[in-house]
Amino acid sequence: MNKDFLALSQFSKAELDAMFALCKDLKAKTKNREEHHLLKGKTLAMIFEKSSTRTRISFEVGMYQLGGHPLFISSKDSQMGRGEPIKDTARVMARYCDGVMIRTFAQETVEEFAKYASIPVINGLTDLHHPCQIMADVFTVIEHKGSYDGLKFAWIGDGNNMANSWIEAAAIFGFDLTLACPEGYDPNPQVLAWAKANGSAKIVITRDPKEAAKDADVLNTDVWASMGQEEEQKIREKAFAGYQLDEQLLALAKKDALVLHCLPAHRGEEISDGVIEGPNSVVWDEAENRLHVQKAIMATLMK
């Protein structure tokens, strides 16, 4: 198994399913308040170049529950923020810590860090991928549907890091995925090419949100302007008109369809308040599962 968790494409279906099995066990132990100190005495450095709510809290709490110690590092308060080469930071940090989680902009940053660090490196988010979130999303689907097999997944909105990681997940797990994205906001073409070369899943890109939502088992969306794209907000609002996951779109899906959103949500933009608060929404289970999935990832890589 790969020592790092930088993208889903690094792993086989069997390896990721094993993480889900461990996640289920760890979640049960957490709920029952059973000790599960699999990483007792170990330290996770958490490097943040992007601000965070769920990523920081879930990794920090998760490491504590595993018996280890989380260490928060803001890039602006470290030598990385003053221009120290990534490879220098990586080699030194590997001598202090047992693992590193990085939440940053460029995928190249986590890849270079992993190249020079002898300890596991986990991608907490980049502009290209968000693998931890997708693992939490798929695990949430498994909890509510029993399996991801044979389900139709729909993505409504920007072809961003979430869309890219959903495409990799579809290829690995073998479920059908339709992505409705406006012109000019498609997912990464290299990620699409990898998925088509390495999986048999039906992956479709359309300009019509209704096509994606029709008969879907799972509906998913994200903000129209991600972190670092705030200056594009007005332009994106025009481009994404008609791409809101609202009651009309939800009505086209199956009656028991699940609604996912990785949060934070801009209610009234990419999703309506009624849908995120409605009976189909499993957004809060999804958010909680970040904790349990990431514990499984850390325990798998750092034991």
Of the candidates 130, 236, 261, 292, the residue annotated as catalytic is 130
Active site residue 262: yes
The domain of 93 spans: 8-130+289-302
213/231 same-domain check: yes
Of the candidates 222, 244, 261, 292, the residue annotated as catalytic is 222
171/214 same-domain check: yes
Average pLDDT by stretches of 10, the chain with 303 residues: 96 98 98 98 96 96 98 82 87 97 97 98 98 98 98 98 98 98 97 95 98 98 80 88 97 98 97 98 98 98 96
Domain tally, the chain: 2
276/146 same-domain check: yes
93/170 same-domain check: no
Residue 84 domain flag: yes
Q: Is 164 annotated as a binding residue?
A: no
237/210 same-domain check: yes
Q: Is the pTM of this model over 0.95?
A: yes
Residue 170 domain flag: yes
Residue 195 domain flag: yes
Show the tokens assigned to 176.
Answer: 């059908």
Residue 80 domain flag: yes
pLDDT at 168: 98
Active site residue 10: no
Of the candidates 129, 261, 290, 292, the residue annotated as catalytic is 290
pLDDT at 111: 98
Residue 3 domain flag: no
Q: Is 262 annotated as a binding residue?
A: yes
Residue 55 domain flag: yes
160/277 same-domain check: yes
159/279 same-domain check: yes
Active site residue 290: yes
Active site residue 82: no
Active site residue 4: no
Q: Is 161 annotated as a binding residue?
A: yes
pLDDT at 229: 66
pLDDT at 79: 75
